[in-house]
Amino acid sequence: MVGGRAFPTVWTVTLGVACTYHDQPSVNPKALALVACASVAIIGFNIIRRHGSDVERYAIREQVFTISEADWLGGAWQRLSAYWIDLTGEVEEPFTVQ
């Protein structure tokens, strides 16, 4: 536990000392503002241009399967997935239907 806290503490102190004694380059505030505004404009243009297709792509798609009681009792339940599958495709805990 001490080692887990010692390393970040030493790293923070080292970076603090390095930043204190390092000469900071001068930055033109107008150029920095121009770059920031240009970035926001480009990102905004990209959002406006692709918003419709992105909303369609990431919309929730619900698939509802209806099975008759006779089919269910006849074994249709065996075609269901036996486990939850997360977004990355990893098999998780068992899927129980009650």
| pLDDT score recorded for residue 45 | 93
What pLDDT score was predicted for residue 1? 59
- What's residue 35's pLDDT? 94
- CA–CA separation, 79 and 72 (whole Å): 10
Return the pLDDT at 64: 78
DSSP-assigned states of every residue in 30-49: HHHHHHHHHHHHHHHHHHHH
This prediction's pTM? 0.41
Beta-carbon contacts of residue 71 (< 8 Å; ≥ 6 apart): none
pLDDT digits (tens, 9 = 90+) for 76-96: 888 877 887 777 778 878 877
The end-to-end CA distance of the chain, in Å, is: 45
What is the structure's pLDDT at 98? 53
Residues in the chain, pLDDT under 50: none
> Cα–Cα distance between 4 and 91 in angstroms, integer?
32
Domain ranges for the chain: 26-94
